[in-house]
Chains A and B, each alone.
Chain A
Amino acid sequence: MTGSKFKEIAKNGILVNNPTFRLVLGTCPTLAISSSVFNSLGMGLAVTFILICSNIIISALRKVIPNEVRIPAFILIIATFVTVVRMFLYRYVPSLYKSLGVFLPLIVVNCIILGRAESFASKNPVLDSAADGLFTGIGFTLAITLIGIVREVLGAGAFLGYKLWDFSIDYFGNTAGAFLVYGLMIAGFNALYEKFENNRKRRNYIEEMRASSLAIEAGETKATEKVEEKKEA
């Protein structure tokens, strides 16, 4: 895998196709779990781990799995890794296991994982798929943690469980606040993204114009030289 391709996968996963803000996939865990930073981070890391593992296995088996039964096969692979993560959390991080609750098994039907399996891992080599899983997972983790920070600071007046001040708005702690914060963040992310994209386009356009005008000038000087040469002849 070359450096430029790696860079492109990273940019796609975190910015251009950010699963949470650009594609609006995997909304259920994002809304339900993001009431605290710790839970958001835990959910993000669990999804990232499952994404990397399932992408690797699916991409390694992409020539073996028949096309007609690929979806059940993908779901079986994903469910296996979810079970693994669930057992690990049950044994080593019981507090997270308890607070993620039913949303831990629900990672199986998270559209981000099945979406990456279907659109990337089933068509690309193993190393690329692993990178894609990693960066899509990072994109998801960053997004859900950002929502978690806003909701925990405003809704509980705390950050990672440490009390910041004695001021809190319960609204941000429950589902209603989750919907509003998530919606506004999508709007903000899209506005920023569009601004950057327009700036980039404008820069490219100016560079192109400069290059072409340079080329024209060079052409003109050549042409005049040619005319002069002809006159001399």
Chain B
Amino acid sequence: MSTIFLIIIVAAFINNAVLVQCYGICPFLGVSKKMGNALGMGLAVTLVMAITCLVTFPIYNYVLIPLGLEFLEIIVFIFVIAALVQMLEKVIKKFMPPLYNAMGIYLPLITTNCAVLGVAETVMDTTAMETIFHLSQGQFNVGHAVIYGIFLGLGFTLAICLMSGLRDKVDKLEMSKHLKGFPITMATASFMAMAFYVFALVRI
């Protein structure tokens, strides 16, 4: 139980996807103008991350490693993620039309989101994960990987929603026209990252 709590804290705050590890900056800057859109994007990323961890972790550890094909990991992962996103879009469109209307348009964008490939690459390295979470060898399993994926996604959602709230105010300020847009958004993100830097000092 304490391991799961540790994974949640590490994934959501200490290794926050956007503000600590710099994953998924494109949607963070691009889709954070309105709170509704930001929430939709964040939840879509969370869903895809959870499913990606569920699928790529077994593929890497139980298929690629026994066959000695570790070097194919990048190609396999990107194809699995692309196929998953396509299938997920079809399924959601068919069975959950309101959800599709809320976050369907963000799903195709997620294929080329580094956060998703990044979580697949982080989670599959079981030895590194076991040293972080004080587990003995072979104890880090699919369940842990999926929890890590979900909470990394929720950390991303938290960051992007906070950003959209701040941008509501910041974009209305008067400033030099060269500072408008990306520069001032990045300066705002810098202050948010400073706040999250505190979590790096937590000893686990």
Contacts and interface: CB of A to CB of B under 8 A. Distances in A.
A160 interface: no
Contact of B117 (A109, A114, A178): A109
Interface string A183-200: 110111011001000000
Interface in B17-40: 19-26, 29
A31 B22 contact: yes
A72 B197 CA distance: 37
B186 A28 contact: no
Interface stretch (B68-76, B90-98, B134-142, B145-153): B68-76
B194 A176 contact: yes
A191 B114 CA distance: 30
Interface of B: 19-26, 29, 71-75, 77-79, 82, 112-114, 117-118, 121-122, 176, 178-179, 182-187, 189-191, 193-194, 197, 200
Given A75-B78, A178-B190, 20 more contacts: A32-B22, A72-B82, A82-B74, A108-B74, A108-B117, A109-B78, A109-B114, A110-B114, A111-B112, A175-B197, A176-B191, A176-B197, A178-B22, A183-B184, A183-B185, A183-B187, A186-B182, A187-B179, A187-B183, A190-B178
A95 interface: no
Interface in A86-131: 86-87, 102, 105-106, 108-111, 114
Nearest to A114: B112
A154 B25 CA distance: 24
B26 A72 contact: no
Nearest to B108: A71
B24, B72, B186, B193 — most chain A CB neighbours (10 Å): B186
A24 interface: yes
Nearest to A31: B22
A176 B193 contact: yes
Contact of A174 (B26, B122, B197): B197
Interface in A122-160: none
B153 to A, nearest CB: 16
A179 B23 contact: no
Contacts of B183: 183-184, 186-187
A106 to B, nearest CB: 5
A28 to B, nearest CB: 5
3 smallest CB-CB distances across A and B, nearest first, come from: A183-B186, A176-B193, A32-B22
A25 B194 CA distance: 23
30 contacts: A27-B25, A32-B21, A75-B78, A86-B71, A86-B74, A102-B122, A105-B77, A105-B117, A106-B121, A108-B78, A109-B78, A111-B112, A114-B112, A174-B193, A174-B200, A175-B20, A175-B21, A176-B190, A176-B193, A177-B190, A178-B190, A179-B193, A180-B186, A180-B187, A183-B182, A183-B183, A183-B185, A186-B183, A187-B183, A190-B178
A171 B48 CA distance: 33
A82 B113 CA distance: 16
A38 interface: no
A187 B178 CA distance: 5
B117 A28 contact: no
Contacts of A194: 178
Contacts of B71: 83, 86-87
B195 to A, nearest CB: 9
A129 B118 CA distance: 29
B47 to A, nearest CB: 18
A75 B117 contact: no
Nearest to B115: A28
A216 interface: no
Contact of B178 (A83, A110, A191): A191
Nearest to B73: A105
A188 B82 CA distance: 37
